[in-house]
Structure 1
């Protein structure tokens, strides 16, 4: 999620009320022995059938899956059951966190500056994937982050430059200094080799729960190079050949280890491409990149004002419609599928309280889902959506809604953001829209 500008069917009605979750899902051959997702032009396919999905972001799945004081496997199973009951079949999950000095980055990390990786957290990822497979879900796993909340590229740079770094939203270094500094990552051979070491370790991993190589696991849909990579904060600091070269070499490395899974960038689209279509096209035309990713953040991008949604929502809807249409045109030009893999909207009045209504948020979700369903119905490039994000049963631990080190109530709103800002809680009316979309997709001709 970009931070610079802030910067039916339900199992039962009890799911909405947050009182009763769906029963645990037993492992079945149909759930675990599935074909891989592959690309065919603008379609994703499983066998001879199109693969279309309603998905969610649940970055913290490996943390809940860890057999450690910071883990909670029982809660992970409940959250997956709740998502499965809604019809969610695709989850975008953090598969790397670089532990270091950045303020508001999650701890523990998956790794530090050396190769002594956090095997407990990796086993948490193993557990999460195994539980997803039982429920017929597939994962998109991202392998680093442009932003600070999981360490990311800035932390990689700090590993190799003597500990120098910038914090995001530091008043002494206003936007776009953080992003421009981060752009050094793409040309830093020592930092990128540490990143490649991580790719080799994770993509080449064998799941400690199932005994299956990740490369052979149909529960993985795709590897993603990063969360929201962008060449820089402004064009003056962008070394585009360097950026494209890292995208391609990283994607090639993944494909050399794992020929079964898709690879995507994790880009926001035009917002991550410095508002230039040629950058988005060049980044996604790389043959090893299988589909176009799009993120939509009306509040972060000042398309709406969360304190005045009634008077700004229409403008945001117009800009959202245009952003989707522009990317559909790019996907057609690329002849590749498109996934709207992040979209978020505040609760009424910009509240972080789960008790606050979601009138305007629900209207925004409805618009995203209508555009996706229309594209699917007409044979267009949109094949799926992943809302940001699933908060589930978690609740903020502090009156100021800020995450503090040591908190264990992980939710979709990452540690650097107000807890409850964008995520969907168990009991939210937004769940009905997710479930309705899943049901509508299930009715489409195969």
Structure 2
């Protein structure tokens, strides 16, 4: 296990942040404290949960996880800010929001604690404010509240097209949108109970994100659905900027995979000046490119498509003259297996391919600003023989809609950790 000893130094979290302390966009790159800022990041959706003082909180574990990530050169965490209480089995419990306007202050204080500790380690966070998918309640739970329709769980129905089409109704529901803005204001205007610092003045927050993987609908989204989505991205991002002049705003989009494979739609949704940088995700197994039961036979095709996906989005970023971050990607363990004891040779090979493209393009000055791998499992371990999470179990990188161990990077995955450290050092050395 790599130690953070000697790396972490405390900084004053109470003092006022200067404008240069915030991550900003300079043409197609990020800047922070007058220096180029490349993202070497992890998805750590449950960070605020671990920060709670009691209940599901595990503050000692959180500090250990942050120290270990910091020692690897990880400087950015992508974190879930809010969750919605739901009856769906494949969603996390507890939730920050029991019902419209009813918040669990202890869980929100957990987010305060996370931000205070992130600041001490000179890291930054991206906070996403909703979820297109059901594992945190998300948009389908908003529709349950305001339409009275069932919160759809595609893990149960196995109808993902139907789920996506229905969930996109969130963008058109006036009551849901009004409540969503209430939630945004609740978080963006929050004052940290530990540091006394308003979130809007906290330079350890890099970006507000509209949602995790918002989509216009199913893969067969209609022109009307696409237009509604484009308008929603622009208006909600503009609303966040109206509350907070210091921070960047991003969409959380997967890229073309989350845009009905429509490059024009992706550009239209992200052209607005209210979106400061682009995001995209890469999931070769989920998208049917890679068969983990036939890793050798499916590798060449999967990696060719992955390379094209990675590079084509960098070209789209050039067209829009904005930075882009690959903020999710992953592959499962050898076997395939969910066991922490399984090797990660195929995943490591995939990570190296991804990291190499990002590093090479970034070193040439192209507008790729870094990555967040999915996801940090750290010291968490699956408790159940079937690897499905139940309340009271450890949180890991895989949320409750997926088996624990599917895509997590654990603290015992030495080869993966060393690979992350290798490319963290390379990216951090880029000066332009």
Q: Which TM bucket (shorter chain)?
A: over 0.9
Cα separation, 1, equivalents of 2:317 and 2:7: 38
Cα gap change, 1:255 to 1:82, in 2 (>3 Å): same
Q: How does 1:175-214 map to 2 (within 5 A)?
A: 175-214=160-199
Cα separation, 1, equivalents of 2:126 and 2:37: 14
Cα separation, 1, equivalents of 2:164 and 2:239: 25
Q: Does the aligned pair in 1 maintain the 2:377–2:411 contact within 8 Å?
A: yes
Cα separation, 2, equivalents of 1:122 and 1:378: 41
Q: What is the Cα deviation at residue 161 of structure 1?
A: 1.3
Q: What is the Cα deviation at residue 243 of structure 1?
A: 1.2
1:410 aligns with 2:392: no
Match of 1:379 among 365, 368, 387: 365
Cα separation, 1, equivalents of 2:429 and 2:228: 45
Match of 2:325 among 339, 342, 361: 339
Say which SS state the counterpart of residue 259 (structure 1) adopts.
coil
Say which SS state the counterpart of residue 420 (structure 1) adopts.
coil
Larger mean CA deviation between 422-431 and 306-315 belongs to 306-315
Cα separation, 2, equivalents of 1:211 and 1:424: 33
Say which SS state the counterpart of residue 93 (structure 1) adopts.
strand
Q: Does the aligned pair in 2 maintain the 1:291–1:336 contact within 8 Å?
A: yes
Larger mean CA deviation between 156-165 and 116-125 belongs to 156-165
Say which SS state the counterpart of residue 30 (structure 2) adopts.
strand
Q: Please name the residue that 1:315 is paired with.
A: 301
Match of 2:256 among 270, 277, 281: 270
Cα separation, 2, equivalents of 1:372 and 1:78: 28
State the Cα deviation string for residues 178-230 of structure 1 (Å, max 9, x = none): 00000110000001111110000000111111110111111000000000000
Q: How does 1:4-403 map to 2 (within 5 A)?
A: 14-15=1-2, 22=5, 25-29=8-12, 35-171=21-157, 174-237=159-222, 239-403=225-389
Which runs of 5 or more structure 1 residues have no equivalent in the other structure?
1-13
Which runs of 5 or more structure 2 residues have no equivalent in the other structure?
none
Q: Does the aligned pair in 2 maintain the 1:31–1:135 contact within 8 Å?
A: no
Q: Does the aligned pair in 2 maintain the 1:179–1:233 contact within 8 Å?
A: yes
State the Cα deviation string for residues 145-187 of structure 1 (Å, max 9, x = none): 000000000000000112433211334x623000000011000
Cα separation, 2, equivalents of 1:269 and 1:287: 18
- TM-score computed with the length of structure 1 as normaliser: 0.93
Q: What is the Cα deviation at residue 241 of structure 1?
A: 2.0
Say which SS state the counterpart of residue 185 (structure 1) adopts.
helix
- TM-score computed with the length of structure 2 as normaliser: 0.96
Cα separation, 1, equivalents of 2:7 and 2:72: 14
Cα separation, 2, equivalents of 1:397 and 1:30: 36
State the Cα deviation string for residues 252-304 of structure 1 (Å, max 9, x = none): 11101111000000000000000010110011101100111010001101110
Cα separation, 2, equivalents of 1:62 and 1:329: 35
Say which SS state the counterpart of residue 170 (structure 1) adopts.
helix
Larger mean CA deviation between 46-55 and 411-420 belongs to 46-55
Say which SS state the counterpart of residue 355 (structure 1) adopts.
coil
Q: Does the aligned pair in 2 maintain the 1:101–1:155 contact within 8 Å?
A: no
1:439 aligns with 2:425: yes
Aligned residues: 427
Q: Please name the residue that 1:3 is paired with.
A: none
Say which SS state the counterpart of residue 196 (structure 1) adopts.
helix
